[in-house]
Amino acid sequence: GTSCFSFYLSNGGRGRTLYVSLLCQLSSMWPSFILTPRYLLRPSEREEFGPVFVQEPHDAIFALDSEEKKVMMNCEARGNPVPVYSWFINGTVVDVEADYRYSLIDGNLIIANASETADYGRYQCKVENSYGTVLSRDALLQFAYLGSFSGRTRGGVSVREGQGVVLMCTPPPHSPEIMYSWVFNEFPSFVAEDSRRFISQVTGNLYVSKVQPSDVGSYICLVKNTVTNARVLSPPTPLTLRTDGLMGEYEPKIEVHFPLSVPAARGVTVRLECFALGNPVPTITWRKMNGNIPKKARLRKSQAVLEIPNVQLEDSGTYECKAENPRGGTAFKGYLQVYTFPQWISTINDSQLDSGDQLHWECKATGKPRPTYRWLRNGEPLTPQSRVEMVNGELIIQKVQQADSGMYQCVAENKYGAIYCSAELNILASPPVFSPNPVRLIATLGKDMLLGCRPRASPKPRVTWRRGDRRIQPSRRIINSSRSDEGNYVCRAENQFGSAEMTAMLWVKEAMRVDLSPSRVEVTVGESVVLSCRVSHDPSLDVTFQWLLNQQPLNFQQEGGHFEYTQTVSITLFGYYMIPRPPGPPGVVIVEEITDTTATLSWSGGVDNHSPISSYNLQARSPFSLGWQTLRTDPEPVTGDMESAMAVELNPWVDYEFRVVASNAIGTGDPSTPSRGVRTKEAVPSVAPANVSGGNGRRHELVISWEPVSEEFQNGEGFGYIVAFRANGTRGWKEKMVTSADSTTYKYRDETFPPLTPFEVKVGVYNNKGDGPFSGVVTVYSAEGEPREAPSEVKASSTSSSEIKVTWRPPNPGPGRPRGYEVSYWKDSEQEESGKRKKTAGNETSMALTGLEGNRVYLITVRGFNSIGQGPASTASTAKTRKDREYPPANLVWIQEGTNVSLNWDPVKSKDNESDVIGYKVLLSQEGRVHNQVVRTITPSAVLSLPEGGTYIIEVRAVSEGGEGATSSQVRVLTSSELWNSLSYWSIN
C-alpha cells in the first residue's frame, strides 16, 4: 500500500527567487515499547541527597569595644533530610548545650559576650544527614583591640648635633595591625617624614638620620588601630642636644630593613622598608638582583619604602636597598617569596556506582608551594586499605560496597591554606526490576533484529533469553528476520539480590519503500508550489509524516502562515526516514611532526550522520590567541576523504593545542578533543620593535625608547634588543645590547655632545638562534637636561604678619629651560632642610607665601625645574613678616537704649612693621555662658541688639590679614529685666 502527503507553499517569500529544501520524515505510530537503560539521577536531583554547602564560614575580626557583643560565624547547607549542624573551635567540639554563650540559628553559630581568651581561634562547621557528613573550610576569628601605653615616665635622649637617633615607640598590646605616627611637642603637630626622618610602620620607632637643633623637643608616639580607629598616646620622650661638640661626618648605618625572607600572598601590596642613619643624610636606592624592579612598583617616603602593589609570582626575587653618602655606603639584601593559596583546577562530582564497580576520583589544585592532598569520608580521614588507594589527588576504591556510600571530600592544602571540594558516592544495590508496561518489538523482514533487555538492577545482572522452552544464544540477535520469528520472547535477569522476567512480543513487517520524494525546485516569488512524498509500507502499520525547512519542523497550524498540507493514506508501513545532521567530532588528533612554523596533524574521521563529510578545518589555540583560531593548511582545502594535513604559518617557540572540525552539506559539527600541547621549534626573530622614539633625559643623555616585542614573536630563548645610533652626518653605527626582553628604554651618556643633538636611531632584535630585523631609522634628539641657571633678581617683601610676596626673573633662554619654579622658605632660626617648599603651577614668576608666623625673619630661595629634574637655587633672600596687632581698640563709649547698645571706639592705627587693620570683631557673650555672638565691622562702631534677661559682656578686637589683635577692655551691660530682678531682690531683702 502507499501513503501520500503533500503540502502547499503559497505566495512564498518576497523579491527574489526562493530555493526550498525539505525533508520528509516518517515515523511508526504502532504502540511499541522498547526498554531503555535507566538514567541515573545526580544526588542533587534526587528527592533525597547528602549535604551540600551553600555558605561556609569566613575569617572575621570582632572589635572588643563594639556595642554589639555578639559574634556570628555563618554556615548554611542544603540537603534532604534536613541537615544537622555542629561546630569545632581549634579541633574541639563546641558544646552548645553546656555553654550558655553559644547558640545556633539554623547553621550559624552565635557567640555572646565574646572574648579573645576564650573565643580566638579557627572555626569549622560540620553538616550531616543520613546520607553523610561534610566539613567546611576553617575560618579564623580574631579580636580587634588597642591597649594603653604604660604610664611610666620615659627617660630623655641626649645626642650631639649631627648624630643619628632612634626613639622607641614600644606599642601597647593590640590586634590586628596598627598605624604609627609621632607628635612633636604638642598635639596636633606631627613629625613630617622626609629623607632625614622616618617612622617605621613595622616597629613604630622614629628614626632621625642626622639630628639638628630644630629637632630638640618632646616626642610622643601615637598609635591607631586599623579596625576600630581607636588611638592612644605614649608618654613623652624628651630629646636634647649635648653641649660637648658636634658630630662629625660618618658613613651610613642601615637601622631599618626588611627581613631576610619576606613571604607575601599573590595579589597583596608588599612594602619593604629601608632607612639609614648617617652624616650627611644618606640617599636610599633600590634594585632587584638578576632582574628589573617591577614597573608597577613605587618609592615612598623619600625612597625609604619600596611598595609593590598586586604582587605576582614573577615579582619574587632578591631585592637590595643601598644607603650612600660622601663618607661611604652600605647595603642590605632580602628575598621576596610570593606564595599562592591553593586553587582548584578540577574537582570531584557526585557518582552512582553499582556494587562491585571501581571508583576513580581525581582532584587537582594549583598553589605555591605545591599543594598536598588528603581525603575525608563523612568528615573523618580516609586511610589507605587493601581496596583503597590514594596518590596525590587521586582516590581509587576497588569493588565498591554498600558501606562505601557517603560524602567524600578532597582537601588540597599548603602551608598557607586549605580548600575543600565535596561529592556524594551512592552505591546501588537492588534486584532486577522491569517496567510494568508491555513490550512490543517490530522487525523488518529480511533484516537483523537485536532483542533489548535492560532492567533496573545493581549490580549489573546476568541476562538470558528463551522462546518457549528453547534457550536463545547469548548474542540475542535474530539474523535475517522472517515471519517464523514472530512470537513471544522471555528475558530473565538475575543478580545476588534476586531475579525477574520480562516478555517481549515480536512482529516481523515488510520494509518501507519510498516511491516519491520531494526534489529540489525553483519557484518565483508569489507563486504556489506543491511538494509530494509517497511511500509503500506494511498495511498493518500506520505512518505519520513530518516536514522540515532548514532543519526546523514546519508549523502548519500557525495563524496567518502560508503552509498547507493534505494527506491520503491507503496503507501504512513501519520505519524511519533518517534525517541528515552535521557530522560528529573527529577522533583523536595526533601531532606527527613539529617545526618552527608547521605542524603535521593526523586524525580519524567521525560519524558523518548520513551526509558525507565534505571538508575539515584545522584549528589551534595558544596562550596568545583569543580562543580557537582557524589555521592555514597544506594542502588547502582539506577535503573529507583526508585524515592528515599540515598546519602552516605558525609562530616559532609557542605552545599550541590543535583540534579538527568536520563539515558536510548540512553544517559544521562539534570539534574533536584537543591534541596534547606542543611547542614549535625556535627560530631567528622576525618581528622588529615598533614605535621607536626617545628624547628627554638628563644633560648629555640620549634616551631611546621602543615598544617591547610580545613573547609570541620572540621565537626563542635568549631574546634581547640591539640598539644602534649615530649622530646625524656621521657614518659608523654604535651598537649596544639590551639583554632583557621586557626592556623599553636605553640611555647613552656622552658629555661631548651638546643638548638637542639629532641622532639616527634604530632598534633590532636577537635570540640564541641569531639576529633578527631592525626597525626603521628615526631621528631622536639628545636631552636638553635639567635647568642650568638659577633665577635672578629674587625679591621678597612682607604684605602682612602671615604673608610674604616673592618675585624673580627667569634664567636666560636656552636648553634646560624651566617648566616651573620651586620656592623654598624657612625661618632664620632653622636649617634649610626643615623648611617648606611650594611649586608654581606653570612658568609664573611670582608667588605669595601664606600661613607664616608674625614678626619672623624668613630666608627664601627659588629654583627652576622641568620633567628631568631641578636646577640650582638662587641666592637666599630675606624678608620679615609684620607684627600682629600690639594695641587693642581704646576709649570704648556705649549708649544703651532698651535692648539696643550703640558702641564707638578710637580707630586702631598700624605702625610700619604691623599688618594693616582691615576691620574689627565685636564679641558679645552672656555672663556664665560659653557661646559668643560675633559682629564684624570695617568701621570703629557697631550697634548690638541684646535679648532681655541677662548680664552681657562686650569686647572689641582689631583684625588684620595676620589675624586678630589684642582684646579691648570689657563693657558690662544689664538688660532691663535683669535690672528689675536686682531691684526686686534688694526690696525683698
Is 192 a domain residue? yes
DSSP per-residue letters across 522-573:
EE-TT--EEEEEEEE--TTS-EEEEEEETTEE--TT-TT--EEEEEEES---
Is 542 a domain residue? no
Q: Which helix (H) or strand (E) holds 985?
A: helix 976-988
DSSP per-residue letters across 217-271:
EEEEEEEEETTT--EEEPPPEEEEE-SS-----EEEEEEEE--SEEEEETTSPEE
What pLDDT score does 931 carry?
A: 64
CA 54 vs CA 75, 199, 217: distances in Å:
8, 45, 59
Residues 903 and 838 in one domain: no
CA 15 vs CA 11, 521, 527: distances in Å:
11, 17, 12
Residues 369 and 441 in one domain: no
What's the CA angle centered on 706, arms 701 and 710, to 5 degrees? Answer: 145
Is 537 a domain residue? no
For 980, the 3-state DSSP assignment is helix
What pLDDT score does 93 carry?
A: 94
Is 105 a domain residue? yes
Residues 762 and 846 in one domain: no
User: What distance in Å separates the CA atoms of residue 611 and residue 664, rounded to the nearest whole number?
Assistant: 6
For residue 263, whether the previous peptide bond is cis, meaning omega lies within 30 degrees of 0, is no
Strand partners, 427: 353
DSSP secondary structure code for residue 830 in this structure: S
Residues 136 and 172 in one domain: no
For residue 308, give the nearest of 267, 256, 255 by alpha carbon.
267
Residues 353 and 390 in one domain: yes
Tell me the CA end-to-end span of the chain in Å, nearest whole number: 138
Domain boundary among 428, 459, 479: 428
Is 955 a domain residue? yes
Which structural domain range is residue 136 located in?
A: 49-144
Residues 417 and 474 in one domain: no
For 402, the 3-state DSSP assignment is helix
Please give the tally of structural domains in the chain: 9
Residues 836 and 908 in one domain: no
Domain boundary among 107, 123, 144: 144
Strand partners, 334: 319
User: What distance in Å separates the CA atoms of residue 423 and residue 407, rounded to the nearest whole number?
Assistant: 6
Contact 546, 553 (CB under 8 A): yes
What pLDDT score does 578 carry?
A: 57
What pLDDT score does 602 carry?
A: 93
Domain boundary among 880, 900, 930: 880
Residues 138 and 155 in one domain: no
Nine cell digits for residue 726? 649615530
* CATH number for the domain that contains residue 74: 2.60.40.10
Residues 675 and 694 in one domain: no
Residue 446 burial (CB < 10 Å; 0-12/13-18/19+)?
exposed
User: What distance in Å separates the CA atoms of residue 723 and residue 221, rounded to the nearest whole number?
Assistant: 53
Residues 133 and 157 in one domain: no
For residue 274, give the nearest of 293, 300, 292, 249 by alpha carbon.
300
pTM over 0.75: no
Q: Which residues of the chain have pLDDT under 50?
A: 1-45, 569-577, 978-989
Is 23 a domain residue? no
Is 916 a domain residue? yes
User: What distance in Å separates the CA atoms of residue 413 and residue 182, rounded to the nearest whole number?
Assistant: 42
User: Could you tell me the sign of the dihedral formed by the alpha carbons of 265, 266, 269, 274, in that order?
Assistant: positive
Nine cell digits for residue 645? 594535513
- How many helices (H) and strands (E) the chain has is answered by 2, 87
Query: Other CB atoms closer than 10 Å to residue 889's CB: what's the count?
Result: 26
User: What distance in Å separates the CA atoms of residue 432 and residue 232, rounded to the nearest whole number?
Assistant: 77
What pLDDT score does 84 carry?
A: 95
Contact 640, 553 (CB under 8 A): no
Q: Which helix (H) or strand (E) holds 986?
A: helix 976-988
Is 220 a domain residue? yes
